[in-house]
């Protein structure tokens, strides 16, 4: 009997750590700061600058089709800001100019492959 008294049931330490409150915050205890280590995979990427701001463009002309074609993809869609690197003001001007050029038939609404097969 003396042995049975000494062999009492002990709590497992991992049972204490697996409380639902701590698991929801993550393994680092809720402190989600970014590490100060440099990124792997090469040099840091430079911030892209709006090409229209560099050129001090006051307006974007809807008749300059060669310029506007750079900002639409092969399906005829307007490229987003993350692809064009244009600032918000110039992206709005750019999309307005593309829509005007489409309306007067300087630019297509769809890509060539969509018009021939569909």
Return the pLDDT at 88. 94
- DSSP states along 29-73: TT--PPPSSPPSSSSPPPPP--HHHHTT-S---TT-HHHHHTTB-
Q: What is the value of pTM for the model shown?
A: 0.60
Which three-class secondary structure state does DSSP give residue 78?
strand
- Give me the pLDDT at residue 42, please: 74
Please tell me the predicted confidence (pLDDT) of residue 64: 93
Smallest Cα–Cα separation from 63: which of 101, 93, 92? 101
- Tell me the mean pLDDT per 10 residues along the chain, length 118: 58 55 56 67 81 92 94 92 92 96 93 72
Residues linked to residue 78 through DSSP beta bridges, in sequence order: 72
Which element (helix H / strand E) includes 84? helix 81-84
The domains found in the chain, sorted by start residue, are 51-117 (4.10.640.10)
């Amino acid at each position: 009997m003396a042995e049975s008294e000494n062999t009492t049931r002990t709590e497992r330490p991992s049972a204490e750590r697996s409380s639902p409150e701590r698991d929801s915050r993550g393994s680092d205890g809720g402190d989600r700061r970014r590490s100060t280590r440099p990124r792997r995979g090469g040099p840091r990427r430079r911030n892209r600058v709006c090409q229209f701001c560099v050129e001090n463009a006051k307006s974007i002309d809807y008749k300059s089709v060669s310029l506007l074609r750079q900002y639409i993809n092969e399906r005829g869609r307007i490229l987003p800001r993350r692809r064009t690197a244009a600032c918000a003001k110039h992206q709005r001007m750019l999309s307005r100019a593309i829509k005007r050029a489409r309306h007067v038939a300087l630019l297509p609404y769809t890509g060539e492959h969509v018009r021939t097969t569909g």
